[in-house]
Amino acid sequence: MADNPLILTFDIGTQSARAMLVDARGEVLAKAQKHFEKPYHSPQPGWAEQDPDFYWNMICETSRSLKEQNEGLWKDVAAVTCACIRATTICLDAENKPLRPAIVWLDKRKAENLPPLPALNRAAFAAAGMKDAVETIRGNMACNWIAANQPEVWAKTAKFVLLSAYLNLRFCGELVDSTANTVGVLPFDTRRGRWLAKNDVTRCVYLMEDDKLIDLVGPGTQLGGVTRETSGQTGIPAGTPYVVTGADKACETLGLSCTDETSAALSFGTTATIEIATSRYLGPSAIMPPYTAINGGFLPEVETYRGYWLISWFNREFAAKEMEEAKRLGCAPEELLNLRLKEIPPGCDGLVFQPTFTPDIATPHAKGAIIGFSDIHTRIHLYRSIIEGINFSLMEGLYLLEGRGRFKVNKLFVAGGGSRSSEICQITSNMFGLPLHRTQTYEVCGVGSSMAAYVSLGVYKDYPEAIRAMVRIRDTYLPDMTEHEVYKKLFGEVYAQVFDSLSPLYRRLNGIIKHRTQ
């Protein structure tokens, strides 16, 4: 191992791929990034698909680019890790070749006319008040849709895997995955860190044979070395140790140093999330499990499905002026928009944004809403109301998790593209009424993933030691409690009541639209 070993870590997101060289102090010494021109394809409304090798090609491209720009550092690479988006599924044949496009986590197709569940299981779900929720979950499962709608593909499917497992295969030739990558779109027992037992009451929800599942290992496991074929494609020396870590959000939470119930990790990415690390098995609801933490324990999470994607949507639909100016100045349009946030008071002069643009299991009829419009409102009011709306939804998530877990969070850590804005960080601190910390880099997914490798290599004896060495608070935003009181009233008296008030209208609206499109 080199005197100053580096980790080559890849972060494969929804909209871009990044390759980074991370040192043992958690500094990102170099980075190459490739934005996806088309993150996914939609052959039908609501679908989201992508060629599995598209992601691999992005890894190869960013790796070669990083090497070309940093030949002097390349010799110090001691291990490789890769963190990627969750819940993106792939059908592999007997030779581990993809049979169809990957179904991306954003996909909203529904499997219909599924075979009935066994009578005993139906009775158990009905007795627990979970009958409708279970049927919704069944319909959302990609494996069930393929089995019901593409039986010829399903018959040829030898293994049904997540994107993370496929990338592991491409790196080192081993088709295995980490328990910290594995989520409920597969029959995974999060509490026990293994596949669901055949007699588990929920196993029947998945129309999937056990032989389609692969072996699981713990995060931090060295799978082997980078293959010669991969070396030729990426420029990574053959034999370089490859270490499995965890999903992107799990890596972010670890990379922010959130390891107990006193702190919450906010992620301002395509999906905005709030996660809390705990040693207890605690989900956001009785039917929704937590995720698995890389360093042991669990990560209960509440997500806003369309989080900072909404900023991209705003730019596309309402910010042509800023997009043109940003192109001229060589910056992002958000940087120009964020400078104007201070023009708008807290609460946006009565404009409240509910960001439920995409339904989920708990709210299958959800729609987004903006209420409170008047003739004083401008584009910038709308822009700030989107940011406040995302934060209101994450506040709702925090209060839910605190109530279920009977704990109290006293500080926030933030990551993701939105965290680069000091204005957004200050608004967030004011809204939650809590101190908010930004660490030395916004590339915290890469830091968390690299930690697992450094612990695996023995550079650090455990995760607490790695965190002390690799995470430093760079900025702290203290809440303006006067503004917090405004947000507290808006949340309790307005935002928290919007969804229930509009829910009957959403149901009617969905019925009308569905009828018109049939």
Q: Per residue, what are the HEC states of 358-396?
A: CCCCCCCCCCCEEECCCCCCCHHHHHHHHHHHHHHHHHH
H or E, element range at 127: helix 119-127
CB 6 within 8 A of CB 77: yes
User: For position 159, what pLDDT does the model report?
Assistant: 99
DSSP state of 339: T
For the chain, percent helix, then strand, then coil, each to nearest 5? Answer: 40, 20, 40
85 closest CA partner among 200, 250, 253: 250
Concatenated DSSP letters for 180-236? TT--TTS-EETTTTEEPPTT-TTGGGS---GGG--EEE-TT-EEEEPPHHHHHHH-P
CA of residue 350 relative to chain centroid, distance:
31
Distance (Å, whole) CA 213 – CA 186: 9
Distance (Å, whole) CA 167 – CA 12: 10
CA of residue 392 relative to chain centroid, distance:
19
Beta bridge pairs of residue 189: 194
User: For position 144, what pLDDT does the model report?
Assistant: 98
- The mean of the pLDDT values for the chain is 95
3-state secondary structure of 41: strand
Q: What are phi and psi of 489, to 5 degrees?
A: -70, -40
Q: What mean pLDDT is predicted for residues 81-97?
A: 98
Show the tokens assigned to 158: 């030898």
**Residue owning tokens 């053959």:** 238
CB atoms inside a 10 Å sphere around CB 371? 15
Half-sphere exposure of 392 (CA within 13 A, CB side): 28
Q: What mean pLDDT is predicted for residues 195-211?
A: 95
Query: Is pLDDT at 70 greater than 50 in this prediction?
Result: yes
CA dihedral (398, 400, 402, 404) in degrees, to 10, reads -150
Could you tell me the pLDDT band of residue 146, with boundaries at 50, 70 and 90? very high
Q: Model pTM?
A: 0.93
3-state secondary structure of 86: coil
Residue % of the chain over a pLDDT of 70: 99
CB 383 within 8 A of CB 342: no
Q: What are phi and psi of 264, to 5 degrees?
A: -125, 140
Beta bridge pairs of residue 354: 369
Distance (Å, whole) CA 392 – CA 388: 6
Show the tokens assigned to 333: 């349009």
CB 429 within 8 A of CB 410: no
484 closest CA partner among 429, 431, 415: 431
User: For position 366, what pLDDT does the model report?
Assistant: 83
334 closest CA partner among 284, 268, 272: 268
Query: Is pLDDT at 516 greater than 70 in this prediction?
Result: no
User: For position 363, what pLDDT does the model report?
Assistant: 74
Half-sphere exposure of 239 (CA within 13 A, CB side): 2
User: For position 517, what pLDDT does the model report?
Assistant: 42
Task: Determine how β-strand 6-12 pairs with β-strand 77-84.
Answer: parallel
Q: What mean pLDDT is predicted for residues 108-134?
A: 91
CB 452 within 8 A of CB 219: yes
CB 207 within 8 A of CB 144: yes
pLDDT digits (tens, 9 = 90+) for 351-395: 999 998 877 777 777 889 999 999 999 999 999 999 999 999 999
CA of residue 37 relative to chain centroid, distance:
20
3-state secondary structure of 124: helix
Show the tokens assigned to 224: 């082997």
pLDDT digits (tens, 9 = 90+) for 479-514: 999 999 999 999 999 999 999 999 999 989 888 887
Q: What is the 3-state secondary structure (H, E, C) of 464-500?
A: HHHHHHHCCEEEEECCCHHHHHHHHHHHHHHHHHHHH
Q: What's the first-to-final CA gap in the chain, in angstroms?
A: 63
Domains and CATH numbers, the chain: 6-244 (3.30.420.40), 256-304+432-477 (no CATH)
Could you tell me the pLDDT band of residue 518, with boundaries at 50, 70 and 90? very low
Q: What mean pLDDT is predicted for residues 5-11?
A: 98
- List the beta strands (DSSP E) in 3-130: 6-12, 16-22, 28-35, 49-50, 77-84, 89-92, 102-103
Query: Is pLDDT at 223 greater than 50 in this prediction?
Result: yes
CA of residue 330 relative to chain centroid, distance:
28
pLDDT digits (tens, 9 = 90+) for 285-294: 888 899 999 9
If phi over 0 gives left and psi between -120 and 50 gives alpha, with beta otherwise, what is residue 296?
left
